[in-house]
Amino acid sequence: MKDSGGLFERVDTELAGCYELIPRRRGDNRGSFIKTVHKDAFKELELETDFREQYYSVSRKNVLRGLHFQLPPSDHAKLVYCTEGRIFDAAVDLRQGSASYGRFHTCELSGENGKMLYIPRGMAHGFYTLSEQAVVMYNVTSLYDAERDSGILWHSVGIPWPVPANEQPILSRRDKGFCSFAEFSSPFTKRALLTGITGFVGSHLAEKLLAEGWEVHGIVRENSDTARLKEKFAGRITLHVHSVRNSLNSILAKAKPDVVFHLASLYLPSHAYEDIASLVESNVTFGTLLAEAMVKNGCCRLVNTGTSWQHYHDRQYSPVNLYAASKQAFDDMLQYYREARGLKVIELQLFDTYGNDDFRKKLLKLLKDCLNSGSGLAMSPGEQLLNLVHIDDVVAAFYLAGGYLLAGEYDKCGTYAVASQEEISLRELAGKIEKIAGSRLNIEFGGRPYREREVMHPWAGGHPLPGWECRVSLDEGLAGFFDAGRQ
């Protein structure tokens, strides 16, 4: 359940992305007042807000309308409510790959209860009239398209319609002629291909995509450790092994992704001579081969991952280390594919990411281990400022970027900073963690020097992805991270 400043209460259903909305009702001796659409509140509740049409239907008792939807690319999200009378409303998940595919949600909508049902893209909708007459309002995010207006047979998915025994609902000839769900071949399949799917961010993004009904494919290397991934997703994702360079062409041909999320990289805060070949291979060569395979296989949508470390001292480009330089080198490769090959790219440049089940040996994991073991930890003097972004917010940025590309909103292509508005010094962070945990950290500040080209102030020159902002506060995120550690 989620609330939006008192205007609407969002009640989650068993279908991901489908919500019951309960608006705030104001009343006096004259009657009542209900607000049905509020762009800012809907944005806070993570709903599509660009409604292109509004219309209503008037139905008499025992009329059943449905189950209706529009086919891609004219598919739409729908907001339904009843201003007069009562209806039994239903939504059916038609998104292949969704955990709730073929399942339905039902509820009663009426002028009295004021409840609304928000139905995302990829679902069918229908209702049965319970009252003598019902007036039903619809807000939809695409215009009516007669060629793509479609449906499935009303009784083919097991919805418990409250039709009286020995009666038949009143149906249109068109609604009687729809195919059954069993005969229906769903076009509502969004395919994502992820590199770096075994990593912390990649596995969380895969989880989000699956929950939203995407078909998820991942690229792994022959020596990748996929045990954790296979245990977590239990056959719900398809993994492709990249063993030789030209295999990326065959992987793209098999996966046929709508969007590619490129998260794989070799992260090294500092390097040795023998690391250079691996850095270039992982962060430049592999990505370039991926871009080439994409354009050869007709896939033009890429969400790429950069780093704030490409902007030392807030410069437009100044690499903190060779890792950041290799990320920039791939950006330069991508420029060719953008200009010459029509690749549409949104790049998200990340700061420090964290969250539950983070297995990486990074700062917060080190501090958690120090807290749990009581062992000493030598650290720098600790005056550098950190910008920590929770994994839920990071995943939200990637998901939003992929959605923009999928919707053809290519004016959003560009480079964006996935940054929190909160900055905190390492010393202050340690103090905050001690308060949360109720115990002391055995840290020796100044026990080691600052690194070469230490980032004392995080990059401040980036712009956020339109429509995205941090929602998890540092206090909330740290509490969850260290509570999980204690459990």
Strand, helix or coil at 21? strand
- Among residues 68, 217, 240, 262, the one annotated as catalytic is 68
Residue with tokens 């949104």: 346
Q: Which two tokens stand for residue 458?
A: 């995080």
**What percent of the residues of the chain are helix, what percent strand, and what percent coil, each to the nearest 5?**
30, 30, 40
- Cis bond upstream, residue 371 (ω within 30): no
Q: Which two tokens stand for residue 44?
A: 């806070």
Q: Which residues of 189-202 are buried (b: 16+ CB within 10 A; e: fewer)?
A: bbbbbbbbbbbbbb
Compute the distance between CA of residue 40 and CA of residue 389 in angstroms, rounded to an integer.
23
- Among residues 81, 118, 128, 138, the one annotated as catalytic is 138
| C-beta separation of 303 from 402 below 8 A | yes
Residue with tokens 């839920």: 392
- Other C-beta atoms closer than 10 Å to the C-beta of 424 total 17
Compute the distance between CA of residue 66 and CA of residue 68 in angstroms, rounded to an integer.
5
Q: Which stretch of DSSP H or E encloses residue 382? A: none
Q: How far is CA 395 from CA 15, 303, 353, 365, 374, in A?
A: 20, 12, 10, 20, 32
Compute the distance between CA of residue 149 and CA of residue 337 in angstroms, rounded to an integer.
36
Residue with tokens 């996966």: 255
Compute the distance between CA of residue 222 and CA of residue 216 in angstroms, rounded to an integer.
19
Regarding beta strands 149-151 and 64-70, do their DSSP bridges make them parallel or antiparallel, or are they unpaired? Answer: antiparallel
Strand, helix or coil at 40? helix
Question: What is the number of alpha carbons within 13 Å of residue 132 lying toward its C-beta?
Answer: 0
* 342 Cβ neighbours under 8 A, 6+ residues apart: 295, 300
68 is catalytic: yes
Q: How far is CA 411 from CA 32, 346, 469, in A?
A: 42, 10, 19
| C-beta separation of 177 from 156 below 8 A | no
Compute the CA torsion angle 378, 383, 387, 390 (nearest 10 deg): 40
Catalytic residue ranges: 68, 138
